[in-house]
Structure 1
Amino acid sequence: MAKTGMYVGLDIGTTSVKVVVAEFIEGQMNIIGVGNAKSDGLNRGIIVDIDKTVSSIQRAVRQAEEKAGIQIRSVNVGLPANLLEVENCQGMIAVNSESKEITDEDVQNVASAALVRSTPPERQIVAILPQEFTVDGFEGIKDPRGMIGVRLEMFGVVFTGPKTIIHNTKKCVEKAGLTVNELVISPLALTETVLSDGEKDFGTIVIDMGGGQTTTSVMHDKQLKFTHVNQEGGEFVTKDISIVLNTSFNNAEALKINYGDAFPERTSVSEEFPVDVIGKSEPIKVDERYLSEVIEARVEQIFKKSKEVLDEIDALELPGGVILTGGGASLPGVVDLAQDIFDVNVKLYVPNHMGLRNPVFTNVISIVEYSAQLNDIYHIAKGAIPGSKAKAPQAAAIQQEVQYETYTEHSQEEYDDLKENESGEKVTGKIKDFFSNIFD
């Protein structure tokens, strides 16, 4: 269950930067503020201009602050799946204390033992997720603290990513005047929050169609097993329309939104609309079917690239089918086209929150929900990551709270103390060898 308190999610996307402020009360999430600003400084999901990205973040944050009536100090920021690697990890230690009662220190020590590995200099450990513990041979333990034992083992999953992407993301957030509370792996948060328990267990594919890239993720046996990033997204559909119809990018985007459909069979050649063409004084008439065929060509290419990598690991045999989300998935006809290409059950995920019932907000909402559900064991194990510090369970919720604009001198001092204690610190389609048997 999510902790009670305030949580802020930040999604730095290619086309827009989104901020959501949510209040959790007894596990129920209430969204009290939203910011959505046009994104500058990113290309295909990667930060290419830090200053422009900082300005975009600040604009989105200001919007959210105005709507929520608060001042945002720290955020949980999403990290894209570019070059993300997932590996199983295992560690074992002897319990330290004379009483042999397992403590927070023992949990952190066994997590450190699980992270004893050779990490390439260009990569960095992003997160470690403990799956279960074994105490003196007794398996399936989720939280061993307070138990008596001599030998403690931990089995988990470790995520690593490129240092460049991690550094640039943190740098932009910090230059925007914010503190990074949690660096959340976007596809992990997405699969954890949009899928039901059955879909996580038996296996489901989630395809996030963003503006600059499309991320395909596979959740099976309640673990994120695989991610693949295709450097094509909704912006590429708009560019195709612009090039084919010889119109401006803004006009092409408007045509896509107002008349676009990814499934030509649903359109008509008799329905026409005017298009302002560069070099001509008068608009020309274009029919719906022609526009739909332009859109279909790009979306079909995106889906076929995802299908190729999914076929290599037999993921399409999983019973959960495919779930589409992201801004690109909101285009009419996308689900029908995906159904034809993947030949499995396909459905569209739409957030069920007032004012945010659009797939474009799925990522940022999932970041907030995922951050709120992180338990004490996660925070303790996180302290084993080089450069990180374990947060006290009671402080974790406090540090994720948003500070109100009006506060006493005493509360400001408390916030400063907390802030001082916070931890400082070619896209691939290649499938890693360890994925070959993940569905056994």
Structure 2
Amino acid sequence: MWRFLTYMDNSGLYVGLDIGTTSIKVIVAEKVKGQLNVIGVGNEPSNGLSRGVIVDIDQAAEAIRSAVSQAQEKASIEIKDVIVSVPANILRIEDCNGLVTLDDQSREITAEDVRNVAVSALGTSLPQEREVIDIQPEEFIVDGFDDIKDPRGMVGVRLEMRGKLITGSKGIMHNLKKAVEKAGLNIISTVLTPLAEGHEILNDGEQDFGTIIIDLGGGQTTASVIHDHQLKYATTDPEGGEYITKDISIVLNTSMENAEKIKRDYGYADSLQASADNQFPVDIVGQAEPTYIDERYLAEIIEARLSQIFDRIKSRLDQVQALELPGGIVLTGGVAALPGIAELAADQFNTNVRVYIPDQMGLRHPSFTAGLSLVSYFSDISDVEMIVRSAVGATSTKVPKLTDPQDAQVPVSSKSDKPKRKTQKKKRGEGIKNFFSDFFD
């Protein structure tokens, strides 16, 4: 029997729609007694997207419909309402502050007062090309008393809110919403992918003291900084797993389809872990018989591209001192499934690194992290956060002057003596340089 899913359904059903460059994933989860259980999954190759952005609404809508259809069949529900991911490459982050004076000193602060102070935090004029995506409350202040998480029920004259305002490209957000709506779905909420992943991936201490999440996707790589349980910084690199596949295809002179299969079946991120003795066949374009290639050779191709991506990400993280945060780095996304990825990243970023893989049945691959994070985050969002987020719909014309998220200041914890890089790093780097001295621009 099919159940009809709506936002107000007391069954506690949530549907996350993760629209990625290489694949679209739909996660249906049910929350029972505080436990989130996945009951349906859809996974469809993406069409109409480039670097996380929809460039063809019709193609994207068709791919979304197909992924939703798969999830509906497995979960035995009819999906109409979805929580949609918003990629980090369109975000800008800015501090915001709100203030309201309460007209009656004797009454308690209400949800409407909280919403009003959030609306007041949407400050000055917003550039025409941008719109508010989310507002994150960091603290409320009642009559000068700060660090209040939920002021409802308190009595005061002056209510303030400090938080983070996040905006995105109006055109990109329009195309995203249009594609979802054209697929016959209703968006009940848009959720920032890095914020949702921080909630799902990191423990309380890691969110508090500061940790970097690097999502190695197919079309791009995203690095985000979670500190004080807030998204403080996000940056994207326009290269991901697709570029690794292209490199393999070009160097080995094989088709993209073969290159992708070779990467998944035999690939290592760290060439020091791959064996030069283990060989596998590769179908070469223009040749009747396959050529045998060893795993070490393939790993050097993969490592070269990953090293370039990590170098660029590291440079941006260094600018905001994020690598000084004690939580280190957590890797996820489809490329994070490559063996040796944690060792390569730890060597290159010079900090502790771990790989996150979802533990839900049927989702035990890092490519499902974003989709699972959507439903996990939204199912746990607090009442006061929902009230504050509702202010975004009240006005989209009053927000502070914005700066690029790369200019955001990230509070850091200091580390004294940094450990020296491994001697292996020098050997690895030299091998890559010699192997690809003329390959990359």
Q: Where do 1:187-266 residues align within 5 Å?
A: 187-266=194-273
Contact 1:351 1:358 in 2 (8 A): yes
Identity of paired residues, percent?
54
1:435 corresponds, among 400, 409, 414, to 409
Shift of 1:270: 2.2
Match of 2:332 among 325, 328, 350: 325
**What is the alpha-carbon distance in structure 2 between the residues aligned to residue 433 and residue 33 of structure 1?**
40
Aligned length: 399
Note the 1:16-415 alignment, pairs <5 A: 16-97=23-104, 99-386=106-393
Give the deviation of 1:134 after TM superposition.
1.4
Alpha-carbon distance between aligned partners in 2 of 1:132 and 1:341, rounded to the nearest angstrom: 36
Q: TM-score, normalised by structure 1?
A: 0.87
Q: Tell me by how many angstroms 1:99 deviates.
A: 4.0
Which residue identity does 1:435 align to in structure 2? Answer: Q
CA distance in 2, matches of 1:83, 1:65: 30
Amino acid at match of 1:260: G
Pairwise CA distance, 1:231: 0.5
Name the SS for the 1:124 alignment partner.
strand
In 1, Cα distance between equivalents of 2:170 and 2:290: 49
Letter in 2 for 1:230: D
Tell me how far apart the structure 1 counterparts of residues 275 and 250 of structure 2 sit (CA, whole Å). 22
3-state SS of 1:384 partner: helix
Pick closer, same or farther for the CA change 1:430–1:101 going to 2, 3 Å: closer
Partners of 1:55 and 1:212 in 2: how far apart?
Answer: 19
CA displacement 1:145-182 (0-9 Å, x = unmatched): 22221111111111111112211111111000000011
SS in 1 for 2:14: strand
| Distance (Å, rounded) in 2 between the aligned partners of 1:343 and 1:56 | 40
**Which segment is superposed worse, 211-220 or 310-319?**
310-319
Backbone CA RMSD of aligned residues: 1.8
Kept after mapping to 2: 8 A contact 1:10/1:19: yes
State the AA in 2 paired with 1:376: D
TM-superposed deviation, 1:130: 1.5
Please tell me whether the aligned partners of residues 237 and 309 of structure 2 are also in contact (alpha carbons under 8 angstroms): yes
Change (3 A) 1:263 1:355: same
Q: Deviations over 1:120-154 (max 9, x none)?
A: 11111101112221111222222222222111111
| Structure 1 residues not aligned, in runs of 5+ | 390-428
> What is the DSSP-based 3-state SS (H/G/I as helix, E as strand, rest coil) of the residue aligned with 1:383?
helix
Q: Distance in 2 between matches of 1:196 and 1:57?
A: 32
Structure 1 contact 220–439 (Cα < 8 Å) conserved: no
User: Which residue of 1 is the match for residue 424 of structure 2?
Assistant: none
Cα distance in 1 between the residues matched to 2:262 and 2:395: 48
Change beyond 3 A, Cα 1:97–1:380: farther
Cα offset, 1:366, TM superposition? 0.4
Tell me, in whole angstroms, the C-alpha distance in 2 between the residues paired with 1:52 and 1:230: 24
Residue by residue over 1:323-359, the C-alpha shift from the partner in whole angstroms, topping out at 9 and shown as x without a partner, is 1000011011111111110111110011111121110
C-alpha distance in 1, partners of 2:245/2:406? 33
Q: Rate the CA distance shift 1:310–1:342 in 2: closer, same or farther, 3 A.
A: same
CA distance in 2, matches of 1:140, 1:202: 17
Give the AA of the match of 1:59: S
One-letter amino acid of the counterpart of residue 146, structure 1 = G
Report Cα offsets for 1:48-99 as digits up to 9, x if no partner. 1111111110111001000000000100000001131111111111113474
User: Is the 1:45–1:213 Cα contact (8 Å) retained in structure 2?
Assistant: yes
TM-score by length of 2: 0.87
Counterpart among 16, 19, 22 of residue 12 in structure 1: 19
User: What is the one-letter code of the residue matched to 2:303?
Assistant: E
